[in-house]
Structure 1
């Protein structure tokens, strides 16, 4: 039996003991499943993902769920940056995944994806873990100034405001007032200059709420990248009408627009 560790919020521990681990994550090939990592001799490497996962928010801290999988269980293993500078995740058995990652010179950033839920009988134990182990942002980021742009920062992150004051980014904002942005969209014409619309949607995406009816016509813009950016701009808004607009964009002919809708609808 191969042993893996799955990191989750402490608040989920009772449910995991009772029902196992839900298949809530989206894997490399689009399937739902569970991310985990082999239990290696190095405690730090085994729990390397803890600080990065905790950076996105936890409930009561993080715990380590040890999972026993059959050696022949099919999984996907690879580096999280696969597809850019690294080869894609490869299908292999659980035992092969443990051997492969243990043999890598630097296994930081590697991950294993189980394309199904973890059954309660497969949960070996749940233990607390130090909350400061592992890397943040990316492996080897220690000593590198973190990026404070709107795409990299985490809203509500501890120390985030102090970091942005010390290291401001030109895309940080504050965003222009909504009437000014709507005037820019109107001045862009019909169907609208993509550069001007992209700039306005960037600033609107920093807000918690916004003018959904005024932006709804952009769902029919001829350029797919504008429709995709519209999804990212309104996806986290709490304004009435967002769900209906996302429903319409979920059937967009462009696959990247549809994937953007799925991403913004996933729980944070």
Structure 2
């Protein structure tokens, strides 16, 4: 049996013990599954993804779920950067452990199990220190930092000064709110591309005019409704939960899946 570790929010621990780990679609096209990493002799390498995953928020910190898989279970294995190129390869679980263990530098590698993890396959769930591993990418320390929305850390030390010193051409500074609201209010149903652009900028805010955007929940373009999910999911504005509750029953599968992923960013 091959042993792997999966990192998830501490709030998910009771459900993991009871029902296993649900399959989610994150970065593998239409495939749904679970990301994990082999348990290696090095504790630091085994838990190398901790600090990177912690950047995206977790309820109560992260826990390590140890999983036993049959040696013959087919998995995808490769570096994270190979995911977008679909260059990760299908091997058995045992072979994935062998390949990663033989690497001189396994940082940035991952294993994708293309199904849910059953309760009987969960070996144990335990707490894990939140300071282990790299952030952004291996060997990022000393490199010029990226200030795109995906890389920057909200509220991080010196984050505002860094964005001012190294502005990103696509991710800031955003247009004023009044300009964005004018785009939203222009026409019915309006230009879907302009609406999605406005929602992109709104997604970078911590709060926003929810009452002015709520009407987009019934927009005929499912892409607009999906972008609305991502725009408001991180807001602390009252009413976000109720809006997402309505979008969770959207007729479009991508919108429903966006609500599910936004509510549980680390699954």
Same structural fold, with TM-score higher than 0.5 when normalized by the shorter chain? yes
Contact 1:20 1:120 (C-alpha < 8 Å) held by counterparts: no
Q: Which runs of 5+ in 2 are unaligned?
A: none
CA distance in 2, matches of 1:77, 1:169: 33
Per the alignment, in what secondary structure is the counterpart of residue 112 of structure 1? Answer: strand
> Structure 1 residue 147: deviation in Å?
1.9
Q: Give the aligned partner of residue 216 of structure 1.
A: 214
For residues 62 and 180 of structure 1, do their structure 2 counterparts lie closer, same or farther at Cα, with a shift above 3 Å needed? Answer: closer
Q: Deviation per CA, 1:76-131: give whole Å up to 9, x if none.
A: 332334542243563x54323212323456533222345325669823x9686693
CA distance in 2, matches of 1:41, 1:237: 41
Per the alignment, in what secondary structure is the counterpart of residue 237 of structure 2? Answer: coil
Q: Give the aligned partner of residue 46 of structure 2.
A: 46
TM-score between the two structures when normalised by the length of structure 1? 0.71
| RMSD, aligned CA | 4.0
Q: Which one of the candidate residues 255, 258, 264 is aligned to 1:260?
A: 258
Contact 1:21 1:120 (C-alpha < 8 Å) held by counterparts: no
Q: How many residues in Structure 1 have an aligned counterpart in Structure 2?
A: 257
**Quick one: higher RCO (CA 8 Å, sep 6+), 1 or 2?**
2
Structure label with greater radius of gyration: 1
Q: Which one of the candidate residues 221, 224, 227 is aligned to 1:226?
A: 224
CA distance in 2, matches of 1:93, 1:117: 18
> Structure 1 residue 262: deviation in Å?
1.8
> Structure 1 residue 175: deviation in Å?
5.1
Q: Deviation per CA, 1:28-62: give whole Å up to 9, x if none.
A: 5324x5x4322335555333223313433578987
Q: Give the aligned partner of residue 111 of structure 2.
A: 112
> Structure 1 residue 233: deviation in Å?
1.0
For residues 264 and 47 of structure 1, do their structure 2 counterparts lie closer, same or farther at Cα, with a shift above 3 Å needed? Answer: closer
For residues 261 and 73 of structure 1, do their structure 2 counterparts lie closer, same or farther at Cα, with a shift above 3 Å needed? Answer: same
Q: Which runs of 5+ in 1 are unaligned?
A: none
> Structure 1 residue 217: deviation in Å?
3.0
Is residue 2:165 matched to residue 1:166? yes
For residues 184 and 94 of structure 1, do their structure 2 counterparts lie closer, same or farther at Cα, with a shift above 3 Å needed? Answer: closer
Is residue 2:123 matched to residue 1:122? yes
For residues 8 and 162 of structure 1, do their structure 2 counterparts lie closer, same or farther at Cα, with a shift above 3 Å needed? Answer: farther
For residues 113 and 198 of structure 1, do their structure 2 counterparts lie closer, same or farther at Cα, with a shift above 3 Å needed? Answer: closer
TM-score between the two structures when normalised by the length of structure 2? 0.71
CA distance in 2, matches of 1:190, 1:59: 39
